[in-house]
A and B are shown apart, each in its own frame.
Chain A
């Protein structure tokens, strides 16, 4: 008996529900203004992240410096902890103010998108691929394979995400890459269990029985039939999981285990702001707001997808 075996209580057990098709999903999303808004938000943030990656990798922040300020280097004229422009003492040269080293907060918030979006997508991809592999094999074969795989998954799941990733990074080193891999491994159970429960029902369908009777190899059945038919809920979970991963990564950076200074990162900016909460509370507001908006984008779109794919709970 797996942890949380009753999870299917809300989702539909009938794989036929998945057959509603992509066209239907797209139609529902088009009609759902909040899901659309979420999608636009994700698109915009991904564009910003791509742009900041290019500026970082190819131009070494030359674009940012030419247009505005360098997101990492301390400025020559140091005006530390300026409030935002709309507050007394603020200046429109720094619309959101400056941080404790005089760097422009707006530039750092924009450039922080790079880490959050990238790590959110990639760690979820790691968890999705790993979880799909483990869950489909465990669910398809059943028996001792299932027992061994699922015990392993339960073990990982039993350790809180954050604790597991911190322990992982303590072992391998503090860097954003390890944080990303660590979060990816930590979320494997989420996908493994989801896929497994889908596979258990797909396995019993007639077409899988037929394929098996026709002598199709197990690996082919898993890849061609079982996984594609289990994919819709994974996509929904994946979208929501990107938001959760971004929250975890922000928490890690806040604790000092994510992005390392001077790389602009929201969680790390919040950590730096802790010493200035009394004189300059605005410093603590902006990076958190950026996290909130980003995660909300993924939640809105994920909810929309959920409604489109699982019409049982129509909103």
Chain B
């Protein structure tokens, strides 16, 4: 199978999973107590208006019909009207998704940027002080709640030192006119970068720690393989072994874990967006649940799943790319 065919095949495989997510969220949201129309207009208003609203949001139809309609519409990119916002769900998602992606992407950059050198150094100098340090850092990183890190960062770096803002995320794609305190694009980007620092550290610490641990153990294992021993026997220097022979194969498990951890990062973004008052996907789903906005909850959940699946596909493809021994699509 060629890489292109493999990619298409993997994309095709996500379809049943996406239908599964849509199904689970549909029936979960339908099991919710309370009536969204009542919440919207109050329990006792005139019945004609209530009926009209029910019809508008399709709530007058039986459940199985709504389910089929929802699936068909979702496949066409139509997730219905948000009851809370009175706007199409997809519009809200398109508005919020880039914010969350920026946050998660930035957390990943921070996390991996630290984890890879830390893990490699740790493995290369086992039981040295750098190894102990990186293991302690990683242990704390996987044990600390991200939202607590967020709170501590706000206390120290916003409230006491005043270096970074404690809430909101300046979106770098908005023009200077839309951002208060900025007159040029450069200033927008500066403010944006500043507002991104604390949420990035709060969300990225767990990623950093998890990746450091796996990088270290994977490097150690690779450094014990026969071909590395052989290279050592031939007198190849440790540096060259690390760089040319051990590093690349050791990245395979790292990539897997990093891909799967997209899910953790997305879940974490719900918390971090709450701590820093960032209007991203995480806050969107919380709003949806607080206002019993069925279409909004279903749409956002589906998108959370979609991002994760994209992450996994990218992982699988880069895996096949890094390790030429893997023929695309082979089972086990």
A contact patch SS: helix
Chain B min CB distance to A244 (Å): 9
For B34, give the chain A residue with the smallest CB separation: A170
- Taking Cβ atoms with an 8 Å cutoff, the residues of A that contact B are 1, 3-7, 9-10, 151-152, 154-164, 166-168, 170-173, 200, 243, 247-248, 250-251, 254-255, 267, 270, 273-274, 277-278, 281, 284-285, 287-288, 291-292, 295-296, 299-300, 312-313
Give residues 1-60 of B contacting A (CB, 8 Å).
10, 13, 16-17, 20-21, 24-25, 28-33
Q: Report chain A residues within 8 Å CB of B198.
A: none
In the complex, are the beta carbons of A10 and B309 less than 8 A apart? no
CB < 8 Å neighbour of A161 from B159, B252, B264, B305:
B264
User: Does chain A have a CB within 8 A of B217?
Assistant: yes
Residues of B within 8 Å of A, CB-based: how many?
A: 64
Chain B min CB distance to A205 (Å): 16
- A1-B13, A167-B301 known; A292+B145 contact, CB < 8 A: yes
A-B contact pairs, 23 of them (CB 8 A): A1-B329, A3-B260, A4-B256, A7-B256, A10-B217, A154-B17, A158-B20, A158-B263, A159-B25, A160-B308, A161-B267, A163-B285, A163-B304, A170-B289, A200-B332, A251-B267, A251-B268, A251-B270, A251-B271, A255-B270, A277-B154, A284-B155, A292-B140
User: Does chain A have a CB within 8 A of B200?
Assistant: no
Chain B min CB distance to A21 (Å): 23
Query: Could you tell me the distance between the alpha carbons of A9 and B252 in the complex, rounded to whole angstroms?
Result: 7
In the complex, are the beta carbons of A288 and B151 less than 8 A apart? yes
In the complex, are the beta carbons of A162 and B20 less than 8 A apart? no
CB < 8 Å neighbour of B304 from A152, A159, A254, A273:
A159
Chain B min CB distance to A213 (Å): 24
For A152, give the chain B residue with the smallest CB separation: B20
Q: Report chain A residues within 8 Å CB of B260.
A: 3-4
CB < 8 Å neighbour of B145 from A154, A200, A291, A312:
A291
CB < 8 Å neighbour of A155 from B24, B142, B297:
B24
Give residues 201-240 of B contacting A (CB, 8 Å).
214, 217-218, 220-221
Give residues 259-316 of B contacting A (CB, 8 Å).
259-260, 263-264, 266-268, 270-271, 274-275, 285-286, 289, 292, 297, 300-301, 304-305, 308-309, 312, 315
- Render B80-124 as a binary contact track against A, CB cut-off 8 A, 1 for contact: 000000000000000000000000000000000000000000000
In the complex, are the beta carbons of A161 and B28 less than 8 A apart? no
For A300, give the chain B residue with the smallest CB separation: B139
Task: With a 10 A CB-CB cut-off, give which of A168, A243, A248, A251 has the most chain B CB atoms.
Answer: A251
Q: Report chain B residues within 8 Å CB of A278.
A: 155, 159
In the complex, are the beta carbons of B332 and A155 less than 8 A apart? no
In the complex, are the beta carbons of B21 and A158 less than 8 A apart? yes
- A166-B286, A255-B286, A270-B147 known; A171+B32 contact, CB < 8 A: yes
CB < 8 Å neighbour of B143 from A7, A284, A295:
A295
Q: Report chain B residues within 8 Å CB of A157.
A: 263
Q: Assuming A9-B256, A161-B267, A251-B145, what are 20 further A-B pairs, CB within 8 angstroms?
A: A152-B20, A155-B17, A160-B266, A162-B267, A162-B268, A162-B270, A167-B29, A170-B28, A171-B28, A172-B31, A243-B143, A251-B271, A267-B145, A270-B145, A270-B151, A277-B155, A284-B151, A284-B152, A288-B145, A300-B139
User: Does chain A have a CB within 8 A of B148?
Assistant: yes
Query: Could you tell me the distance between the alpha carbons of A284 and B156 in the complex, rounded to whole angstroms?
Result: 12
CB < 8 Å neighbour of A173 from B25, B33, B309:
B33
Q: Report chain B residues within 8 Å CB of A274.
A: 151, 275
- Render B120-160 as a binary contact track against A, CB cut-off 8 A, 1 for contact: 00000000000000000001101111111001101100010
Chain A min CB distance to B241 (Å): 18
In the complex, are the beta carbons of B139 and A158 less than 8 A apart? no
Chain A min CB distance to B32 (Å): 5
In the complex, are the beta carbons of A163 and B270 less than 8 A apart? yes
In the complex, are the beta carbons of B270 and A166 less than 8 A apart? yes
Chain B min CB distance to A168 (Å): 6
- A6-B253, A255-B271 known; A159+B143 contact, CB < 8 A: no
Query: Could you tell me the distance between the alpha carbons of A248 and B264 in the complex, rounded to whole angstroms?
Result: 10
Query: Could you tell me the distance between the alpha carbons of A159 and B28 in the complex, rounded to whole angstroms?
Result: 13
Query: Could you tell me the distance between the alpha carbons of A171 and B292 in the complex, rounded to whole angstroms?
Result: 10
User: Does chain A have a CB within 8 A of B244?
Assistant: no
Q: Report chain B residues within 8 Å CB of A267.
A: 145
In the complex, are the beta carbons of A270 and B331 less than 8 A apart? no
In the complex, are the beta carbons of B28 and A168 less than 8 A apart? yes
User: Does chain A have a CB within 8 A of B67?
Assistant: no
Q: Report chain A residues within 8 Å CB of B247.
A: none
In the complex, are the beta carbons of B28 and A288 less than 8 A apart? no
User: Does chain A have a CB within 8 A of B319?
Assistant: yes
In the complex, are the beta carbons of B331 and A313 less than 8 A apart? no
- A6-B319, A10-B253, A251-B271 known; A296+B151 contact, CB < 8 A: no
Query: Could you tell me the distance between the alpha carbons of A221 and B154 in the complex, rounded to whole angstroms?
Result: 56
For A243, give the chain B residue with the smallest CB separation: B143
In the complex, are the beta carbons of A162 and B271 less than 8 A apart? yes
CB < 8 Å neighbour of B214 from A10, A160, A254:
A10
CB < 8 Å neighbour of B220 from A161, A273, A277, A313:
A313
For A7, give the chain B residue with the smallest CB separation: B256
In the complex, are the beta carbons of A4 and B145 less than 8 A apart? no
